[in-house]
Amino acid sequence: MTVINFLHELTGHGKINRLIIFGSRACGDYDAYSDVDLAIDAENFDRKDWVTLKEVAYYEVRTVLQISIVNFVRNPNRLQNRILEDGFIIYEQ
């Protein structure tokens, strides 16, 4: 599965409110080996949803860059605010 297909599948998932790219890739201070940080805002995801999502990202997405997935909702407000300030919303329901 390509990264684009993976992101497209995520946007078709009714439980996801937003996808946000953040971290060094969003800020422009990345190097060749930096991962892609992806915050997923999905209040109604249960544990099984998260495990499945991370398994697909790790095992099925074909990319040279690692995708690091963060549960936006479970992070403290301070980190949520930083993700929103520095990141880019690439999908919003």
CATH class of the region 3-92: alpha beta
Quick one: what percent of the chain has pLDDT higher than 70? 100
Looking only at the bridges linking them, the beta strands covering 67-71 and 18-22 are: unpaired
Q: What is the pLDDT of residues 54-75, one digit of tens each?
A: 888 888 888 877 888 999 999 9
Helix, strand, coil % over all residues of the chain, rounded to 5:
40, 25, 40
Whether residue 22 has pLDDT greater than 90: yes
Please report where in the chains the tokens 């915050």 appear, as a residue. Answer: 39
Looking at residue 86, its amino acid is D
Structure confidence at residue 82 (pLDDT): 95
- Reading the block at residue 27, the tokens are 């800020």
Q: Where are the domains of the chain?
A: 3-92
Query: What strands lie across the sheet with 67-71, from one edge to the other?
Result: 67-71, 36-41, 18-22, 88-92
Return the sign of the alpha-carbon dihedral for residues 64, 53, 35, 59: negative
Instruction: Identify the H or E element spanning 49.
Output: helix 47-55
Structure confidence at residue 27 (pLDDT): 80
Task: Please tell me the pTM assigned to this model.
Answer: 0.85
Range with the poorest average pLDDT among 10-19, 21-30, 75-84:
21-30
